[in-house]
Amino acid sequence: MLVIVKVGSNLLQTEEGDIDLAFIASLAEQVKKLRKEGFQFVLVSSGAVLAGIKKLGLGRRPKSLVEKQALASVGQAYLMHLYDTVFSNYGLKVSQVLLNADVFRNRERYETAKNTFCQLLRWGIIPIVNENDAVAVEELIFGDNDFLAAHLAVMLNPGFVVIMSTAGGVYTGDPREAGSVLLREVNSPEELAAFVRSTKSAYGSGGMKSKLEAARIIHSLGVPVAIVGKRTPLEAVLKGKPFDGTLIKPSPKPVRGRKKLLAYLEQPKGILYIDEGAKRAILNGKSLLAVGVRSFEGSFKRGDAVTIAAEDGTPIAKGKVNFSSEELKKILGKNSEEIKRLFPGRPTEVVHRDDLLLL
């Protein structure tokens, strides 16, 4: 079974503020033991900026984006040195993979990255993945590594995702307050929504809210998610034993195949506004026809992803269009026979049901 383990920045430091080598060693020891039992691992590790701060003795968070990127450049090398050194002590080989969101928006880059991961795993190497913070720009970032882990789940089809955090799970209130209860097992992330608020830690960019949003993606793939602390044994999580943390069970109706990629990896290039008849049709599993499209926004090519919305703007679905925006202007409201005359040999559906995902 392939397991994706996400490690947050603040897990990598001790209470005194040093890099927590004992935690990295504990992680390596657990991975070594579980690999002998057939588990494979991809590790998503934050901490480049934190490691850069420690390496340079800066003693504070970066004040600007340029500082953050420069610290990430220094820290990523230091972080990988620590992982490589500690994991090597346990006979484990690691590799570095730095990604940005554009890898998941371009099919060729996506397939190249996927093939690289598959080869590394075949060689018995543990990929250690982080966002490429040193060169990232706003439109190409994941926001935090919870979403990077979720995107990797789409790519690699793991059997389990473990998100390690300082919170150690989802509680009914502030875990430091009396009466706050750990929610140990739920059927879906929605059951946790009432208890989660947006927070950020000292060196991390996310919080429990981002973990819940990432968990929604992973859950919908039919993959279980556990949110745990740094002391929670991976063996207990992966073997179904009791553990301190929150388990989110996989969806019983996971998204599969091309629709999975459409749902999570492709950015919509436009919006199609449809009438009530078309809305009822696609909700009943039918394709979207031009006769039901009232208007649209955006500039897109044939094969691009678009959002499909009701006339009031409520998103209903996401799909791949069979016509460019220029072509769509010519067929709005037209029936299939008229479209055949205008575009002979082409599909008449604006979005075929096989390329359509309800939201």
pLDDT tens digits for 39-63?
999 999 989 988 999 899 887 888 8
Q: What is the pLDDT of residue 3?
A: 98
Domain boundary among 258, 277, 296: 258
Could you give the strand order of the β-sheet that contains 356-358, starting from the edge strand earlier in sequence?
293-298, 270-274, 305-310, 315-320, 356-358
- Contacts (Cβ under 8 Å, ≥6 apart) of 213: 146, 147, 189
For residue 167 the two structure tokens come to: 């919170």
Q: Are residues 172 and 244 in the same domain?
A: yes
At residue 354, does pLDDT exceed 70? Answer: yes
Q: Which of 4-18, 21-35, 120-134, 135-149 has the lowest mean pLDDT?
A: 135-149
Domain boundary among 258, 280, 313: 258
Pairing of strands 2-7, 40-45: parallel
Number of domain units in the chain:
2
Q: What is the pLDDT of residue 199?
A: 44
Q: Are residues 148 and 7 in the same domain?
A: yes
For residue 331 the two structure tokens come to: 């067929």
| Predicted model pTM | 0.82
At residue 197, does pLDDT exceed 70? Answer: no
Q: Are residues 159 and 185 in the same domain?
A: yes
Mean pLDDT of 86-95: 98
| Rounded CA separation 123/248 (Å) | 31
Name the DSSP letter for residue 220. Answer: H
Spatial contact of 170 and 213, defined as CB atoms under 8 Å apart: no
User: Which H or E element spans position 75?
Assistant: helix 65-88
Name the DSSP letter for residue 130. Answer: E
263 domain residue, yes or no: no
pLDDT digits (tens, 9 = 90+) for 283-296: 999 999 999 999 99
Q: What is the pLDDT of residue 193?
A: 79
At residue 200, does pLDDT exceed 80? Answer: no
Q: Are residues 247 and 278 in the same domain?
A: no
Q: Are residues 235 and 318 in the same domain?
A: no
Q: Are residues 253 and 272 in the same domain?
A: no
Q: Whole-number mean pLDDT of the chain?
A: 89
Residue 270, strand partner residues: 298
Mean pLDDT of 306-326: 92
220 domain residue, yes or no: yes
Q: Are residues 70 and 21 in the same domain?
A: yes
Domain boundary among 208, 230, 258: 258
- CATH code, domain with 309: 2.30.130.10
- CATH code, domain with 145: 3.40.1160.10
At residue 120, does pLDDT exceed 90? Answer: yes
> Which single residue is written with the structure tokens 């990629």?
261
Q: Are residues 101 and 175 in the same domain?
A: yes
Q: Are residues 10 and 77 in the same domain?
A: yes
Q: Are residues 246 and 322 in the same domain?
A: no
Domain that holds residue 195: 2-258
Q: Are residues 133 and 186 in the same domain?
A: yes
Angle value at C-alpha 244, between 167 and 205, nearest 5 degrees: 20
Angle value at C-alpha 138, between 320 and 201, nearest 5 degrees: 115
Q: Are residues 273 and 151 in the same domain?
A: no
Mean pLDDT of 197-216: 65
272 domain residue, yes or no: yes
Mean pLDDT of 209-230: 91
Pairing of strands 245-248, 185-186: parallel
67 domain residue, yes or no: yes
